[in-house]
Structures are given as structure tokens and as C-alpha cells.
Amino acid sequence: MISKYPLYINGQFIETPEKQNIINPSTGKVIAEASLASPAELESALSSARLAFDQGPWPQFSLAERKEFIFRIAQGILDNAELLASLEMQNTGKPIKETTFMDIPSSAKTFEFMANNFIGYLDNEELSVSSEARGRIIREPMGVVVLIIPWNYPLLIACWKLASALAAGNTVIVKPSSLTPLTVLELAKIIHKIGLPPAVVNVVNGSGSKIGQLLCEDKRVDMVSFTGSNEIGKQILQYSSKNVKKLTMELGGKSASLIFNDVDLDVAVNSSLTSIFLNQGQMCTAMSRIFVQEGIYERFLESFVQKAKRLKLGLADNHETQMGPLISDAQRKKVIAYIDKAKAEGGKVVCGGKIPENPELKNGYYFEPTVLVDVGVHSHIFKEEVFGPVVLIHKFSGSDEAAILANSVDFGLAACIWTKDLYLAQELAGKLNAGTVWINTYGMFYNELPYGGFKQSGFGKELGKEGFLEYVRFKSMIIDQSEEGKPLVNYWYGF
């Protein structure tokens, strides 16, 4: 029997007449049925979240009480880790090894970190601004926050946003991707069970084209936090301008990895494989452009291609699978179109570039890990995000050229530098237009460090103190201390 997933609004689970089938990209089969929000459900979520913030108990809870709830959400994720890992695997198609050891534990750790640290982030600041006055900077919750979640890391990115938003004292409406809503809807059950007050967290499912505009335009919403594509991000900017509100946006990337002659070749090759083929390349931070210094270029390319060909594509529930399917047939067609265009523009496919022939995989949305060379710097695939298992390998001579190549796109999300010369690496990192630079590693996200990009990769931060403070508004309080309580303004007109 197929599981049914209702919406979660104002502390109630609501089944709606309109529903959608949720597909397992690994098999092409229906695994669940999820309710879709209509304008009526959106109105209920918006009005409930607004009332819960303006008149409900959550913003008035002591910080210690709020901390306890944040910890209980973390524990609820851990208590349900096996279920959540299986759901994430089925709904996204990513290998079970990834969801078990990366997505679910990291989601719980985000809440644990925030519970342990947010109180210190909310400390009010006292300032002596002059001999006649003192000031205070007060940190308050933003209000009602809409969190729009992408399909590539449905639970983890929801938790990044939700942990900060809740710890700051906001009420929240979460809109997961309609392709991958299951783990966020399951998280709603965990939140309900621990007794969070009604309407503090609401989860509405539906396509962005049908409900995204209504959520972003509404004047009852104080903030929208979005992770997703540039195309949708630009639409959200337009929608939100109808009623001014705060925005944070983590958008696309076309990240570059810079590999110098002095590296341990095996370490650089193995790590680079992970940096592009993890999660089938469906990562904003995927190192889809690998630049290799000319002294080791040929050896690196040969080793990389050999190992890419050995990556095991397979069903997501197999613990030996190293690469699963893409999220949908539409995404696979997009990847194929980019490769066809790259070849037409002079690029050469030296590995992959096609749908695998393995009959076991015929019903899923699989695509081989793909390596291209001889790609011109002005070609579409050099500059645009593919969001699939496709990498360009290119050579460079020195660090100045490497920086120019890395910075030659509109995105500025992340980069990697591989060298034993840490002085060179840190100097080069300062020249890269990227919000995160990994040196001799890839993909290590720490809750202590903020994450977010520059240029067309968006604005605002997730994680760390800086990510938390995105969900806080700052109020200045000025207290006059003039002698006899007569401030300068009292004498301005001289009456």
C-alpha cells in the first residue's frame, strides 16, 4: 500500500483533494502520495503562522525553553534516522550510503549545534555612544519566515534553515520541492510529536509555479529564505518586491578546482571524483570545472578517466552503489542537451556522455559519469550550471592564469585548491571570487562556519553565527543620559 503524506498546518495534518505521486528516480516507480496545497491551505498556513508569531507563546518562550525544543528535534531525527535515510534514498535516488552516513546525521547535528550556541548569538550589545546617551542593540526574531527547499538535499537544507529560524524565535512555513517532499513531511511528524506549539512550523507542499508566488508576495511574510536555481531565484525577487521583505538566496554555481603540480596525484584524483560525482553531480558546489597545472595534466586526466569509468552505477538501496540516478527524466534530458551543445562547440567527450546500457537500470534516470576536454572558455557548458555528473578538465600554467579561469564565470559559490604550498593556496584563495574555498579537501561543511556565495550565486549565509543572524532583526535603543534629563533636542526651538 502506498503511503500518504498530508500537509502540516497549525498543528494539524491535512489531506487535500489534490494529490501527487512521488517517484523513486532509481526505479521510476511511485512510492508515495503527497497532498498538494491549494490557495485555501496557503491562507490557513499564512494566517496561522502570523497569529502564532504575533500572539502565540513561541516568541515569548525563555531561551532555555526554546533550546530544549531545538534539542528535542535533533533527538527526534536521530531516533528516526533509519526511516529518514530510507525515505531520502527512495525520494531522491541518492545512494543509501550517502543518506545514512551524511544527510541524516548532518541534519541532526545542525539542530544540536544551534541549540548549543544560539543563546550567545542573541546577546544584546551595550554601547556608550556619547556622554549624553547610551545605546543598546537588541536582537529580535524576524517574524514569519518562508523557507523554500531544493530537491537535491531536501532534509539537510531544510534543517540548515529551520534550526536557525526556530532558534531565533520565528514562526515558519516550509515549502519543500514538490519532487522531494517526503522527509520534510516526515520531519513535521517529529516536530508535532515533541509538542512544539501549533503553527510555529507549517509544511505546505506544491509546485513553485502554483504556490511559490503566493507565499513570496504575501505581506504577512517578513522573510524568504530560498535555495535553488537562478531562474527561480529571479522570480522570487520579483514576487517579493510586491511587499518588501528580507531575502536570503543560495543559488547556482559553476565551481572550479585548481590542482597544482606538487599534489599527491592519487589523493587529488580520488577527491576530485567525489567533488563532481557525489550525488550524481546534483550539487551547487559541484566542482564541474577542474583546472590542472600542465606538468601533471596528462597523468591526472588519464587516472581520472580510468577511475570515473569504474564508478559503480546502481540502485540506490544497494550499499555498494557509488552513483545513483538523476532526479528526473527532465533533468537527464537537460544534461544530454548540454553535452550535445558542448560537442557542437568543439568539446570532446573522453568518458561517459550517455545513458548506461545496464538493463537493471533501465527504469531509472541514470546517466554515466562524463568527462569533457577541449572545451572553450566561451562555450555554454563552461559558463552555465549543468547540475549533473559532467566535468570539464582543462590545463593551466600558473596561479595567475588559474585565478582568471576560475573567476571567468558569473557564479561565485565555491572553489577548491590542491597544493602542498599552503602559502600559495591561501594567497590564491584571496583572489578567488567564491564564498567558500576548500584547500586540499572538498565538501566539508562545518556548522561553525557560514556558507553562501557571491555574484550570481546569491546573497546571505547559512550556518554559523552569521547564518543564524540572517533570521534576526536588529533594533537600536537610545537612552538619553543628559544632566537633569534635558537633552539637546529640548533646546532646539528655544521655548
345 among known catalytic residues: no
- Helices 104-121 and 154-167 meet at what angle, rounded to 10? 20
CA 124 – CA 75 distance, rounded (Å): 29
Residue 269 in grid coordinates: 584524483
Contact 479, 136 (CB under 8 A): yes
Which one from 159, 284, 351, 416 is the annotated catalytic residue?
Answer: 284
Residue 223 in grid coordinates: 522573510
Which one from 250, 385, 462, 470 is the annotated catalytic residue?
Answer: 250
Residue 101 is given by DSSP the state: I
Residue 60 in grid coordinates: 515569548
Using DSSP bridges, classify how beta strands 348-351 and 370-373 pair: parallel, antiparallel or unpaired.
antiparallel
Contact 180, 92 (CB under 8 A): yes
159 among known catalytic residues: no
Place of cell 513553485: 208
- Give the H/E segment covering residue 436: strand 436-439
Q: Is residue 423 helix, strand or coil? A: helix
Closest to 222 measured CA to CA, from 37, 472, 11: 472
CA 394 – CA 405 distance, rounded (Å): 10
Closest to 154 measured CA to CA, from 287, 279, 320: 279
CA 460 – CA 475 distance, rounded (Å): 19
Burial class of residue 142 in the structure, from the number of CB atoms within 10 Å of its CB (0-12 exposed, 13-18 middle, 19+ buried): buried
CA 409 – CA 428 distance, rounded (Å): 17
Classify residue 206 as left (phi > 0), alpha (psi -120 to 50) or beta: left
Beta pairing partners, 30: 23
CA 452 – CA 436 distance, rounded (Å): 7
The angle formed by the CA atoms of residues 65, 71 and 77, to the nearest 5 degrees, is: 140
Q: Which residues are catalytic?
A: 250, 284
